[in-house]
């Protein structure tokens, strides 16, 4: 007697996925028609998809089904060493479970790695980390180095995504800001809560961006989807980020004092409400102190930048995501510099234009000045949405360039 297993689709889907995306992914991965896949997936019944496989291959099937968004289980079955194919029958006939005899599920264990591969459209929806974890000889998931021009490319891609659904994105980001603003009004605990929950909101927005890329429509409540998708790990990212920031500020202060950039007297002067006193105390050391702070803060930002999206979309733990985020930022430090400078000059240019217009309107009418001030908030919100979506476009470019162009073998 030899031990074998069968893979059973439970009939339920991950509540965070779009059923039509699941249908397309399943059809592409397992080489069946979309109508057959739709009947199987939307039927709501448990179906045996594959029988007579060993434990390793059963787990591989299950891992890919999970990434597609299909809940499944692996059940043991006993078969004879000879005539094994007749020892157990699927729970459903081929007509009821069309995937059981499809090219993907019908392949033998020896041919799994060579017969089943993702189509390009499915590859763009299934995280590359899933493919690399399921396939032993797949190149490990990791960042790809890009040229400096990609820093601007991330911004232009974000703008195109924003233009496709501007009102939804403005409402989604505005809602997140309103909630975080309300939390920040709570003394002490409110500020801590906004820091810890920030990655949770960010992860939800990343899920919305992914949904839009797949052809869906982002939700106004997208920012809250992170609470139901790896919410604990996303909150842990916020907690670790807060701890790293505290360490960085303390380290910056120690370095500044050790090098004489800041003295005890100048530190006391910082508590003064008189800006002239503060400027006189710090003098030329102010610029050096800010430089020291920046040098200690930048590595922390690199740890954090991609962490929420890697947790939300790749299912990584908080520590894994922060390490991978640092790798992605470090490997693309030049395009990230271009990206940061581009955002800075966009913000600076907009501020200068608004400043000039404000001065002109103030000289004409106070009413017009009030109108302009009301327009500034939506413009700042557009900039915030651009930053959010540029993080997603950078993530796609840095971590999924290879999968987009080459495809990913899943089994």
Domain at 67, CATH number:
3.30.1390.10
Q: Please indicate, yes or no, if residue 108 is contained in any of the structural domains.
A: yes
Q: Who contacts 382 (Cβ-Cβ below 8 Å, separation ≥6)?
A: 162, 170
Residues 98 and 158 in one domain: no
Residues 110 and 154 in one domain: no
Residues 53 and 197 in one domain: no
Q: Please indicate, yes or no, if residue 171 is contained in any of the structural domains.
A: yes
Residues 201 and 315 in one domain: yes
Residues 167 and 108 in one domain: no
Last residue of a domain, one of 97, 116, 135: 116
Total domain count for the chain?
A: 2
Q: How far is CA 323 from CA 207, 304, 334, in A?
A: 21, 9, 19
Q: 305, 335 in Cβ contact below 8 A?
A: no
Q: Please indicate, yes or no, if residue 138 is contained in any of the structural domains.
A: no
Which band of pLDDT confidence, cut at 50, 70 and 90, is reported for residue 44? Answer: confident
Q: How far is CA 218 from CA 125, 211, 215, 355, in A?
A: 15, 6, 10, 34
Q: pLDDT tens across 233-248, in order?
A: 999 999 999 999 999 8
Q: What is the pTM of this model?
A: 0.62
Q: Please indicate, yes or no, if residue 11 is contained in any of the structural domains.
A: yes
Residues 315 and 254 in one domain: yes
Q: pLDDT tens across 310-355, in order?
A: 999 988 899 999 999 999 999 999 999 999 999 999 988 887 877 7
Residue 5's H or E segment, with its range, is strand 2-13
Q: Please indicate, yes or no, if residue 219 is contained in any of the structural domains.
A: yes
Residue numbers of the domain that contains 347: 150-406
Reading phi first (left if > 0) and then psi (alpha if -120 to 50, else beta), residue 83 is in left
Q: Please indicate, yes or no, if residue 240 is contained in any of the structural domains.
A: yes
Residue 170: is its pLDDT beyond 80? Answer: yes
Which of residues 76 and 144 earns the better pLDDT score?
Answer: 144
Residue 100: is its pLDDT beyond 60? Answer: no
Residues 109 and 187 in one domain: no
Average pLDDT, the chain: 75
Q: Please indicate, yes or no, if residue 401 is contained in any of the structural domains.
A: yes
Q: Please indicate, yes or no, if residue 188 is contained in any of the structural domains.
A: yes
Residue 167: is its pLDDT beyond 90? Answer: yes
Residues 98 and 181 in one domain: no
Q: pLDDT tens across 383-410, in order?
A: 999 999 999 999 999 998 744 333 333 3
Rounded to whole angstroms, the Cα distance separating 380 from 357 reads 16
Strand order in the sheet with 70-79: 47-53, 2-13, 70-79
């Amino acid at each position: 007697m030899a031990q074998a297993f069968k893979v059973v689709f439970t009939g339920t889907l991950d509540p965070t996925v779009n059923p039509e995306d699941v249908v397309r992914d399943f059809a592409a991965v397992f080489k069946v028609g979309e109508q057959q896949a739709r009947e199987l997936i939307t039927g709501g019944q448990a179906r045996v998809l594959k029988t007579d496989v060993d434990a390793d291959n059963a787990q591989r099937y299950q891992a890919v089904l999970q990434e597609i968004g299909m809940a499944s289980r692996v059940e043991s079955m006993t078969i004879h060493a000879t005539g094994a194919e007749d020892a157990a029958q699927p729970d459903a006939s081929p007509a009821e479970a069309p995937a059981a005899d499809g090219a993907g599920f019908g392949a033998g264990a020896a041919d799994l790695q060579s017969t089943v591969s993702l189509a390009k459209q499915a590859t763009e929806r299934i995280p590359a980390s899933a493919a690399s974890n399921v396939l032993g000889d797949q190149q490990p998931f990791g960042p790809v180095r890009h040229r400096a021009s990609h820093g601007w490319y991330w911004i232009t891609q974000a703008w195109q995504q924003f233009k496709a659904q501007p009102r939804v994105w403005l409402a989604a980001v505005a809602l997140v800001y309103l909630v975080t603003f309300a939390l920040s009004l709570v003394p002490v605990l409110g500020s801590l809560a906004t820091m810890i929950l920030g990655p949770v909101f960010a992860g939800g927005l990343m899920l919305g961006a992914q949904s839009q890329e797949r052809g869906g429509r982002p939700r106004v409540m997208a920012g809250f989807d992170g609470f139901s998708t790896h919410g604990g790990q996303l909150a842990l990212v916020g907690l670790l980020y807060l701890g790293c920031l505290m360490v960085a500020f303390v380290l910056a202060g120690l370095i500044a004092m050790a090098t004489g950039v800041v003295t005890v007297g100048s530190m006391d002067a910082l508590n003064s409400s008189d800006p002239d006193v503060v400027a006189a105390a710090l003098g030329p050391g102010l610029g050096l102190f800010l430089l020291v702070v920046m040098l200690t803060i930048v590595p922390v930002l690199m740890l954090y930048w991609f962490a929420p999206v890697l947790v939300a979309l790749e299912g990584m733990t908080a520590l894994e995501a922060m390490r991978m985020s640092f790798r992605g930022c470090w490997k693309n430090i030049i395009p990230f510099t271009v990206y940061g400078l581009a955002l800075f000059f966009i913000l600076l240019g907009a501020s200068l234009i608004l400043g000039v217009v404000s001065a002109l309107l103030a000289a004409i009418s106070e009413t017009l000045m009030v109108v302009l001030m009301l327009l500034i908030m939506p413009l700042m919100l557009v900039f915030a949405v651009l930053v959010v979506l540029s993080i997603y476009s950078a993530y796609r470019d840095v971590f999924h360039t290879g999968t987009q162009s080459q495809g990913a073998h899943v089994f």
